[in-house]
Amino acid sequence: MADRSRVVVLAGAAGSGRSTFVAVALHALRHRLGEEQGLTLLPRDDRTATEARLRYERPFYEDEHPPPVAPGAGVALVHRLSRSTGRRRPAVSLVLLDTSGPRFADPEPDESELRKLDVADAVLLLLDPRDLTGAVSPAAGRAPTGDSLRVAERVLDRLRTGRGRSAAGGRARVPVAVAVPKLDLVTPWLPPHSPLHRERRPGTGFDADDRSAVHTELRALLALWQGEEIDGWLRERCADHQLFAFSALGAAPRGATVPPGGPRPHRAEDPLLWLLHRFGLLDGAGPGR
Ligand SMILES: Nc1nc2c(ncn2[C@@H]2O[C@H](COP(=O)(O)OP(=O)(O)OP(=O)(O)O)[C@@H](O)[C@H]2O)c(=O)[nH]1
Ligand SMILES: [Mg+2]
C-alpha cells in the first residue's frame, strides 16, 4: 500500500526564517529527535537527497561561515517518515514545501504561490517578531513592515476559500501551526517565568501539557504585541491552530552567517511534533491534541 502523503507548506514573509527552519527540522529528524521519537526519515528520491544536502544540511551544518543559500524558486522535499519503535503506525510521505521570497506579501500576490496552499494538509505560518510591535528592541531588528500580517491574512483566506476547500463554520479545517521564529530576538523581553524560556522535556510522543502552557503564553504575548488582532483573526478563520515560538539558530547570526558551532535550536521541534501528532505518527493526550 502506498504511504499516505502529507504536504506541509511553509508560509511567511521574505526573510522570516522558513529555510532555516527546514534545515534545522530535517537535521533534528535525521538525528536526535528521530532517535528520541523512534522515527526514521529517508529521502524519497534523488532530487530530494541532493537538495536536502546542498541547500540545507551543508550550508547550515558544515560551512558555518558562508551565508546559507536562499532558495530562489521554492523547494519541495519529499521524505518517507516511518515509526521504527513503539506502537506501529503507517508511514507518511512527508512533503515539505519551502516557499520562496517575497511573493506571498506582494501587493498582487503570485497565484502560483497561493495555489500551493490548495494542496496543503498542514501549514506552518511564520510571523517574524520584527513585524510584531514591541516584540523586539528596535535596535535588534528593523521597523515593522506589516508583511507578516499581510501574509497571514492571505494564507488564512486561501485556506478557507481555495479550490477543494470546505470551511467549518467559515473557518479553515487544515491544521495551522502559527509560529514566531527568531525567539532569540524576543527572549530578553519575555517575563522571567515564561514557559518559552525552558526547553521541551525530552520524551516520546507529544507533550500536551507543555503545548497548552506555550499556547496560552503566546496568546497573551500576541495580545500585547499586536492588540487583540492576531488572536481574533485566527479564531475567526482557523478551526485547528496552535501557537508556537522558536529559535532555529539559537542566537542572532552575524550578518547572514550561521552562528559559530552551527545552529543550536530552541523549541524549533515543537511545531514539527504537533504536526506529526496530527498526522498520526506520534501519541499524545490532553488539551493540545
Ligand atoms: N536571530 C535569528 N535569525 C534567524 C533565525 N533563523 C533565521 N534567521 C535569519 O533570518 C534571515 C532569513 O532566514 P531564511 O531562513 O533564509 O528565511 P526565509 O523565510 O527562507 O527567507 P527567503 O526564502 O529568502 O524569503 C537570515 O538572515 C537568517 O540568518 C533565528 O533563529 N534567529
Ligand atoms: Mg528561504
Ligand 1: nearest atom to the Cα of 246: 31
Which residue out of 10, 18, 20, 106 has the highest number of ligand 1 atoms within 8 Å of its CB and is therefore the one to mutate?
20
CA 89 – ligand 1 centroid, Å: 34
Asked if the model's pLDDT at residue 289 lies above 60, the reply is no
Residue 172, Cβ neighbours under 10 Å: how many?
Answer: 27
Burial track 81-118 (b if 16+ CB lie within 10 A, e otherwise): bbbeeeeebebbbbbbbbbbbebbbeeebeeebbebbe
The residue contributing the CA closest to ligand 1 atom 11 is 15
Task: Give the pLDDT mean for 162-185.
Answer: 87
Q: What is the DSSP string of 69-100?
A: PPPSS-EEEEEEEEE-SSS----EEEEEEE--
What is the CB < 6 Å shell around ligand 1? 12, 14-20, 70, 100-101, 181-182, 184-185, 247-249, 252-253, 256
The residue with cell 508560509 is 11
Rounded distance, CA 79 to CA 122, Å?
Answer: 16
Find the ligand nearest to 141 CA: 1
The tens digit of pLDDT for each residue in 88-111 reads 788 999 999 998 766 777 777 778
Q: What is the pLDDT of residues 74-83, one digit of tens each?
A: 899 999 999 8
Q: Averaged over 125-133, what is the pLDDT?
A: 94
Residue ID of nearest Cα to ligand 1 atom 17: 17
- The residue nearest atom 12 of ligand 1, judged by CA position, is 15
User: What is the spatial distance between Cα 3 and Cα 81, in angstroms, rounded to a whole number?
Assistant: 9
Which residues make Cβ contacts (< 8 Å) with residue 213, sequence separation at least 6? Answer: 195
Ligand 1 atom at minimum distance from 250 CA: 31
Query: Domains in the chain and their CATH numbers?
Result: 4-278 (3.40.50.300)
Given a cut of 80, is residue 152 above it in pLDDT? yes
Span of 27-31, 87-91, 146-150, 199-203 with lowest mean pLDDT: 87-91
| Distance of alpha carbon 29 from alpha carbon 257, whole angstroms | 23
3-state secondary structure of 65: coil
Say which ligand is closest to the CA of 264: 1
82: amino acid identity, one letter:
S
